[in-house]
Amino acid sequence: MGKGKRLRYLCQDETRIGLKTETGRVITARGVKPIVSVQWPRQAFWLYGVVEPFAGWHFCQEYGHLNSETFQKFLDALSQELGEDMALIQMDQASAHQALVLSWPENLIPIFQPSHSPQLNPIERLWQFIKSQFKGENFSNLQQLRQRVQQELARMSCELISSLTCYDFILEALFHEALFYASS
């Protein structure tokens, strides 16, 4: 690699965020059933993102659809954001990620995880965390929801993102890779 370039390890995925109320368990007094108004509209958007687990860095963009055309736009924006850095990107085998029409930027190298194994992708925990922050809330329109998601993303520190996404197997792999290159 040339001067100033870094090799980075990123994890990529998308999540659908919509006006349907996020529900789940909540803590209440014994015998008290929580009362939450649940709405069921089908309006939604997709949040595309990458995280760098060790550093806690993230990059997200919103799109109206999940397809190869919007994924290409995301790849191009990510490539530009990374500048001279190279990145290995772990991702699932979604058809949008493997479309033949994709033109992979030179600084992005895809690594596809095994099928049906979202638990291997650390960004899944980021999506869970973001959605948990507005559990039980109702939004009157998508713009209100977008603002809330952007607010949550802006409040997240690198330390928090790293604590959510840096699995032991990632740390071990990065540590061994660093030792390998140090001894070369």
pLDDT value of position 4: 58
- Digit-by-digit pLDDT tens for the chain (184 residues) are 445 588 999 999 999 998 866 767 767 788 887 776 666 667 889 999 999 998 999 999 999 999 999 999 999 999 999 999 999 999 999 999 999 999 999 999 999 998 888 888 999 999 999 998 888 888 889 999 999 999 999 999 999 999 999 877 666 765 555 544 445 5
pLDDT value of position 89: 96
H/E element, 169: helix 168-183
pLDDT value of position 31: 84
pLDDT value of position 59: 98
CA atoms within 13 A on the CB side of 94: 16
* Cα 173 to Cα 119, 140, 149, 167, distances in angstroms: 17, 45, 32, 10
Q: CATH classification of 7-25+34-183, choosing from 3.10.50.40, 3.90.1150.10, 3.30.465.10, 3.30.420.10?
A: 3.30.420.10
pLDDT value of position 11: 96
Q: CA nearest 47: which of 11, 15, 79, 69? A: 15
Q: List the Cα angle 47/50/56 in 5-degree steps.
A: 120
pLDDT value of position 64: 94
* Cα 83 to Cα 4, 8, 108, distances in angstroms: 10, 12, 11
Domain assignments of the chain as residue spans, ordered by start: 7-25+34-183
Instruction: Retrieve residue 91's tokens.
Output: 């991702």
pLDDT value of position 105: 97
CB atoms within 10 A of CB 12: 24
Instruction: Retrieve residue 81's tokens.
Output: 């954001």
* Cα 16 to Cα 63, 100, 109, 129, distances in angstroms: 10, 24, 25, 14
* Cα 103 to Cα 10, 78, 114, distances in angstroms: 18, 13, 22
